[in-house]
Structure 1
Amino acid sequence: MIESTASPSQAPSLAVALVVLLFISVVVLLILRYYLPLRTTPAFLLVPVFFALWLPASMVLLVPIDLASSAQTDNIAARGIWLDEKTLRVSWRITYWLTFALTWFILPILGEYSDSGYRDPKGKLLDSLRANAQYYAIVFGSGALGLIYVLISYGHFSESLKSTVMALAYCWGLILAIYLMGHGLVSIPRRLFRNANISGRLRRIQAQAPKVYEKMEDAEIDLEDLELQVAELSRRKGGSASFFQDWIEELADMTNLPESQPSRVSLVRGSGNQSPIPNVITEKYLAELTRRLARARHARSRYVSEWNRLLEDAVTTQAILDSAASKKLDFGKASPHAGFWDRHTLFTPYTRYLFHYHMVPYLQITLAAVLSLASVCIVWSELVKGLFPQVSVIRYSVIHHQVASKGQVGLAGQIIAALWMVYMCAAALISVTEVKVWRGRALVRRNTAHESAFWYASQVARLSVPLTYNFMTFLGSIYRDTVFYDFLGQLINLTPLGKWFDYLFPAFILLPVCATLFGLYGKVKRVVGFGMVDALDDDEEDDATSRRGATGAWREGRDLIERELNGTSAAIRARRADAINKSSGGGNNRGSGRSTPVLSIPRAGRRDGAISGGTGPTTPFGMSPTAGIAGLTPSSSRRPQANTSARRVGRAETRLPPDEGDDENFFEALGHRVKNTIDTLDTPKWLQDLGQGIKKPRWMGGDKGLGGSSGSSNSWGGESDGRRWFGGGNGEGRIRL
């Protein structure tokens, strides 16, 4: 990336740059090792994904070096780390065009290639090209329209094609980067503030448990459906299936069905259910079945990993909370698969308690305050960089030296610039991981699907260049002297449309910032009721759930976690699997053509607010250190639902702890109290009588309809109608003469 034949004057800077690049390479490898098994992952995945992460990370190094190297004075000592113009230009060209090729061509094709269900490489490649055909049609169509616009505006053809391609790629990436970065600038400090409250963190974990458990159960059932379909397919020995026996055997090897499963499939097929398997087996059908089976396996792995991580967080948080009484904190023996810092520690139980219970919350609050201030500075700089660049906070934090009324970036300014870029990229990339995308893509520790790895790597590569150039525009006129501006910036500003877009569009960062800050995602979801706005409202939903203690959502999660930690859920799942494998009929049917019995699971009783069967001491919240579920009710979908209203019937009301309401401010608490007071008031009688017309007086029997019987007494102590004048009141409706 950097030429070795450098002038002696820049040798120290070149050595520092190489050391930093080596450090970036090690960090990228550790990230890949965290999400992928390096030994079993094929090279066609590791190499492109490595460069898709390494090249954007190297831009964090190139931008400060470019700013210092483009100084307007000859004071080399004040530049910090610098390189000559030729080296910088070659570095930017290699970095940009490799990132461009990875983003728009290599990673999308390889992602669909790895997701294809075909066996041979040629079939996988053709399937990948077919899947990306629509994507490339949109890209090339937009490029053609942009090319026509540039030709009309600029009037030359020599630079029109390259400038159009680079400008369109930058504009599309900037739209995505501004939206994601705006969300991340709010969510990162807010998450730190919330996690500083240990009791609130535990309750949010418990509130998430029912939803995560339900998704895990759904993933297991979907995978089981596909495995049964493969088992039924493996029974076919003749006809069109005989041409694909090797393929079918490979699919059978991918499943985890017991030996008795094919016999059960024959019973299901004989029960009159329509089989989902076509009469004629084709290559396309087997490819789609292979794709669906691989996706289902990764989906189950994703939710099982998420559920295990939630259990680990719940146990750790509960242990920290319980240590307030004993002043000692012990997480127990670390697992063999734990990291180095988890297996080796210098803390004693008391110092561990001081660190986790007292120091960590204050450190989180301090870091959240610093990042909140940084977020405000970034948003402010986005708003003023077009009209008033002199008041940009980031500009003054990076440019510390003024020589002959011109800016000079030193070593301190380079470090601060790198920190600004790291935070901006982290805000955007964290938002990418929170977005719920198609196909259930997710990053799973040591088991990330290949297609998911390609997709997330492509997002990192796509966001790197727009965020890098967007940061440089914060620095005023000094960025116009850089090599990066000469390489990319002048092509973006080639037309008036590109120039105004570059300066005005970042001001729309207020939209995602306000939407995340005020919880607009959750409000729109509740009003509209569509699932499309689920993308970024998890924090708002969790916060709203944690405030609604009366609904019992977090109680259900607490009971569910405790039952899982006590081993009850594992036994229930094993019993359900046994019942499914041994059953020969009855139960509910699904699209896979199999019947399943409904497993009735009684609800665990509770006495004095404690969980039946729980172990261990209780906490100030009235729960054991391992929090869990009271029981599951039968469900028509043949699995225990993690969140049902029937489970709350008959459950003893648990009083919220005094410090559970710390998340509310004064106005929220006052509003809740006023609302509860108004809701518990009885409607006045005069207000109930409104709208019922003019009533007859009492002596004409006006209270008959209200009294309900002819013998009811009124306020006068007599009968409610005129029959009392004729000796009435015998209750039989007759008049006595």
Structure 2
Amino acid sequence: MMALANPGPPVGSEVFAALALLVISFIVILILRYYLPLRTTPAYLLVPVFFALWLPAYIVILMPIDLASSARHDGDAPRGIWLPDRLLLISWRITYWLTFVLTWFILPILAEYSDSGYREPKDRILYSLRQNAQYHLVIFGSAAIGLIYVFISYGVSFSSLKGLVMSLAYCWGLALVIYLMGHGLVAIPRRLFRNASISGRLRRIQAHAPMIYEKLEEAEMALEDLEMQVSELGRRKVGSARNFRDWIEELVEMVELPESHPTARTNRPSGEVDRILPTVITEKYMADLTRRLIRARHARCRYVDEWSRLVESAVETQAILDSAASKKLDFGQPSPHGSFWSRLSLLTPYTRYLLHYRIVPYLRIGLSVLFSFASASIVWSEMVKVALPSLSVIRLTVVHHWNGKQGQVGFAGQVIAALWLVYMCAAALTSITEVKVWRGRALVRRNTAHESAFWYSSQVARLSIPLSYNFMTFLSPEVYKETTFYRFLGRLITMTTASTWFDYLFPVFILFPVCATLFGLYGRVKRLFGFGLDVIEDGDENDNGYGTGSWREGRDLIKRELNGTLGRGRRDAVRHPPGGASGARSIPVLSMPGDEGGSSASPLSRSPNSRQLANTSARRTGTSSSAGASGAASRLSLVDAPEENFFESLGHRLKNTIDTMDTPKWFQGIGQGIKKPKWMETNDGNGSSSSAPSGPGADVRRWFGGGGGEGRIRL
């Protein structure tokens, strides 16, 4: 019994933890390699982003180990993987404070540093510090109220200040993770269930194509405007531009417009072109131009990648659908830019048909049912964790061994707890990548912008601690209050009454994002106001005719891409990678067949005024060329305008929606007179009728069926 009460050193657990850390490090490096070119990415980006991803992955292992280690009682042998309390406390301190410093200071400063647009490191760091100082002043100003409340209630001490900082950081992270996780808990199983239908998946891909194509067109036109502005700046050799000659030459080299590149400059008067540039070139203007140019190049790269993946998915889905007749499936030659697994072919055409057409749909349905149960269990556990913790599904699946009121977590419970944490993290992180409301930031394969990489990694690190503590509260208080993590963080969160009630009541609001996603509220808001989340909800597909979001329009766009009418211009659009001096590689694009001659010239390789546009609400085929030229001139004249606030942007969106709204059919005939009945129309003998008489015999006798040349009336 004494041997059980005093177990020896956990050598096996320590070896397991060390191997788990090595595996996590390898996976994080693969993730970085997928989104960033490791050879050309600077170290100041790779190192903090690596730790911002590595620490949350480590928490997935550390939390189950803490649950098993803290549940050791007198007379009971430890179960599962466990570590000493001192080692756990050191691990939690390092993990928490390193994550705190990364998310609130290091990553935001480096993000603004990479997005500043200045040339010199000193100017870039000063710009970054100014931008972050404004944000932190707002945060600290809001926290001053809480500081006064804590000092009055609990006295002035270092522990009170530390508790306030940790509580506010937790509350902010909890509010964000509840919304994102609620969206993902519905989106993951619904996407799996809807993608089980091959024809339905193809229809949704085609319905999504017009929106992606329109955004790609807008990104390329915005980039062309900035490239023309840089080209005009390179021609200015006098005045204040001489002070920034080297900087201007770097921008011109970054653009590298060929001599045959068509621009809108030839179609505009010289005075209009001169108004593109300000009279006096300043350092702030140069930094702003550089920043906007880099952002535009990355935006173009982002939508090129999305369009390429969408076309590739459409081709593969169509091939799977067509294989039902021949019972053979062949995707053709794999892309040379694809991954190792995509180039590896071990299946025959028949076994590939069985896998993709027969097995994968049922597998998706099964996973959808499993994840739906998991999502419902998480929502239910959020609702009952305070009032009825014994009914929590997560508690019943994790804690298997009970000794009276004390519970222990074994190895099976640790594995299940890690799976619950992985699913909750996946739901939150999926929402971050899907809900594109983050100032145009996106993750692009091998070409992610530096600022986007810093921002996404900071969000991953920011959500890890609140999500882990929220998961721990699903268990019984007798279990989680004995953990090292609760003694380190939980007692500070529950130190004040306000933070305790916030921790108890706020997770109930997970029902709002769950219901909003379940019943398609985002799609309704988007259709009503013209803005919303860039995710296709149920009912967003337009099944009738052509128009914005029509699957038929998307099918035609994809067909034109495959026929080569859009492919050559798209490949020319990515001839240079964004980022300029960073040296990032260009993203892999689809190799589309088609004639490279002048007969199949892509509309994307032409000037904005002569480009064939998608049939969307923002581009109508009936728009005159003069309106297009004025619209392009207005874009150029507003290059130096400051960013709009929310109300100005909303007003512009509403105005654009009303201006581009199609007239309903029932309203088009109003004001054009009353249509004559058939008995009042005449027949010209060729089978065509006319409602207006003409010729020398056009008189009242025609109303009664008589001809003008016959001279008689027929009754």
TM-fit CA distance, 1:120: 0.6
Q: Which amino acid aligns with 2:399?
A: I
Q: Is the 8 A contact 1:232 1:265 kept in 2?
A: no
Separation in 1, partners of 2:215, 2:112:
25
Q: Is the 8 A contact 1:200 1:546 kept in 2?
A: no
Large movers: runs of 4+ above 6 Å: 261-264, 572-577, 645-649, 705-708, 729-732
Spell out the pairing of 1:475-514 with structure 2 (5 A cutoff).
Answer: 475-477=475-477, 478-514=479-515
Q: Is the 8 A contact 1:216 1:304 kept in 2?
A: yes
Judged with a 3 Å threshold, the aligned counterparts in structure 2 of structure 1 residues 76 and 243 are, in CA distance, closer, same or farther, namely farther
Q: Deviations over 1:409-444 (max 9, x none)?
A: 000000000000000011001000112234310000
TM-fit CA distance, 1:576: 12
TM-fit CA distance, 1:403: 1.9
* 1:548 matched to 2:556: no
Q: Which amino acid aligns with 2:614?
A: A
Name whichever of 159-168 and 135-144 sits farther off.
Answer: 135-144
Q: Is the 8 A contact 1:219 1:296 kept in 2?
A: yes
Q: Is the 8 A contact 1:327 1:350 kept in 2?
A: yes
Separation in 2, partners of 1:102, 1:631:
45
SS of structure 2 residue aligned to 1:643: coil
Separation in 2, partners of 1:221, 1:279:
24
* 1:639 matched to 2:634: no
Separation in 2, partners of 1:444, 1:471:
31
* Aligned residue number for residue 374 of structure 1: 374
* Aligned residue number for residue 523 of structure 1: 524
Judged with a 3 Å threshold, the aligned counterparts in structure 2 of structure 1 residues 235 and 148 are, in CA distance, closer, same or farther, namely same
Root-mean-square deviation over aligned CA pairs: 3.2
Q: Which amino acid aligns with 1:141?
A: G
* 1:141 matched to 2:141: yes
Separation in 2, partners of 1:242, 1:434:
45
Q: Is the 8 A contact 1:150 1:160 kept in 2?
A: yes
Judged with a 3 Å threshold, the aligned counterparts in structure 2 of structure 1 residues 109 and 480 are, in CA distance, closer, same or farther, namely same
Judged with a 3 Å threshold, the aligned counterparts in structure 2 of structure 1 residues 370 and 547 are, in CA distance, closer, same or farther, namely farther
Structure 1: unaligned runs, 5 residues or longer? 1-5, 578-613, 616-629, 650-679, 681-704, 712-728, 733-737
TM-fit CA distance, 1:280: 1.5
TM-fit CA distance, 1:268: 4.7
Judged with a 3 Å threshold, the aligned counterparts in structure 2 of structure 1 residues 321 and 273 are, in CA distance, closer, same or farther, namely same
* Aligned residue number for residue 66 of structure 2: 66
* Aligned residue number for residue 325 of structure 2: 325
* Aligned residue number for residue 31 of structure 2: 31
Separation in 2, partners of 1:440, 1:508:
27
Separation in 1, partners of 2:62, 2:86:
13
Separation in 1, partners of 2:263, 2:93:
62
Q: Deviations over 1:222-254 (max 9, x none)?
A: 111111111111111222111111111100010
* Aligned residue number for residue 683 of structure 2: none
* Aligned residue number for residue 650 of structure 2: none
TM-fit CA distance, 1:140: 1.1
Separation in 2, partners of 1:342, 1:571:
24
Judged with a 3 Å threshold, the aligned counterparts in structure 2 of structure 1 residues 182 and 390 are, in CA distance, closer, same or farther, namely same
Spell out the pairing of 1:652-691 with structure 2 (5 A cutoff).
Answer: none
What's the TM-score, normalizing by structure 2? 0.79
Separation in 2, partners of 1:374, 1:326:
38
* Aligned residue number for residue 254 of structure 1: 254
Q: Which amino acid aligns with 1:116?
A: S
Separation in 2, partners of 1:438, 1:417:
31
* Aligned residue number for residue 566 of structure 2: 569
TM-fit CA distance, 1:572: 6.7
* Aligned residue number for residue 301 of structure 1: 301
Q: Identity of paired residues, percent? A: 65
SS of structure 1 residue aligned to 2:472: helix
* Aligned residue number for residue 198 of structure 1: 198
SS of structure 1 residue aligned to 2:489: helix
TM-fit CA distance, 1:330: 0.5
Q: Is the 8 A contact 1:64 1:417 kept in 2?
A: yes
SS of structure 1 residue aligned to 2:218: helix
TM-fit CA distance, 1:267: 8.3
Separation in 2, partners of 1:121, 1:575:
33
* Aligned residue number for residue 132 of structure 2: 132
TM-fit CA distance, 1:153: 2.3
Q: Is the 8 A contact 1:72 1:406 kept in 2?
A: no
Judged with a 3 Å threshold, the aligned counterparts in structure 2 of structure 1 residues 159 and 637 are, in CA distance, closer, same or farther, namely farther
TM-fit CA distance, 1:641: 2.4
Spell out the pairing of 1:222-241 with structure 2 (5 A cutoff).
Answer: 222-241=222-241
Separation in 1, partners of 2:573, 2:389:
65
Q: Is the 8 A contact 1:230 1:252 kept in 2?
A: yes
* Aligned residue number for residue 584 of structure 1: none
SS of structure 1 residue aligned to 2:481: helix
TM-fit CA distance, 1:278: 1.3
SS of structure 1 residue aligned to 2:539: helix
Judged with a 3 Å threshold, the aligned counterparts in structure 2 of structure 1 residues 265 and 327 are, in CA distance, closer, same or farther, namely same
Q: Which amino acid aligns with 1:102?
A: L
TM-fit CA distance, 1:157: 2.0
* Aligned residue number for residue 160 of structure 2: 160
Judged with a 3 Å threshold, the aligned counterparts in structure 2 of structure 1 residues 631 and 236 are, in CA distance, closer, same or farther, namely closer
* Aligned residue number for residue 10 of structure 2: 10
Max radius of gyration: which structure?
1
Separation in 2, partners of 1:386, 1:415:
25
TM-fit CA distance, 1:188: 0.3
Judged with a 3 Å threshold, the aligned counterparts in structure 2 of structure 1 residues 346 and 636 are, in CA distance, closer, same or farther, namely closer
TM-fit CA distance, 1:458: 0.7
Separation in 2, partners of 1:443, 1:341:
21
Judged with a 3 Å threshold, the aligned counterparts in structure 2 of structure 1 residues 233 and 173 are, in CA distance, closer, same or farther, namely same
Q: Is the 8 A contact 2:523 2:540 kept in 1?
A: no
Q: Deviations over 1:272-312 (max 9, x none)?
A: 54422112111111111110110011011000000000011
Q: Is the 8 A contact 2:208 2:536 kept in 1?
A: no
TM-fit CA distance, 1:270: 2.5
Separation in 1, partners of 2:317, 2:504:
45
TM-fit CA distance, 1:218: 1.1
Separation in 1, partners of 2:131, 2:331:
48
Q: Is the 8 A contact 1:103 1:462 kept in 2?
A: yes
Spell out the pairing of 1:317-716 with structure 2 (5 A cutoff).
Answer: 317-477=317-477, 478-527=479-528, 529-531=529-531, 534-535=532-533, 538-540=535-537, 543-546=538-541, 548-551=543-546, 553-570=550-567, 638-644=610-616
Q: Is the 8 A contact 1:69 1:83 kept in 2?
A: yes
SS of structure 1 residue aligned to 2:407: strand
Q: Is the 8 A contact 2:264 2:609 kept in 1?
A: no
Separation in 1, partners of 2:505, 2:400:
27
Separation in 1, partners of 2:675, 2:426:
68
TM-fit CA distance, 1:363: 0.5
Separation in 2, partners of 1:67, 1:509:
25
Separation in 2, partners of 1:364, 1:463:
28
Q: Which amino acid aligns with 2:563?
A: N
SS of structure 2 residue aligned to 1:351: helix
Separation in 1, partners of 2:414, 2:545:
52
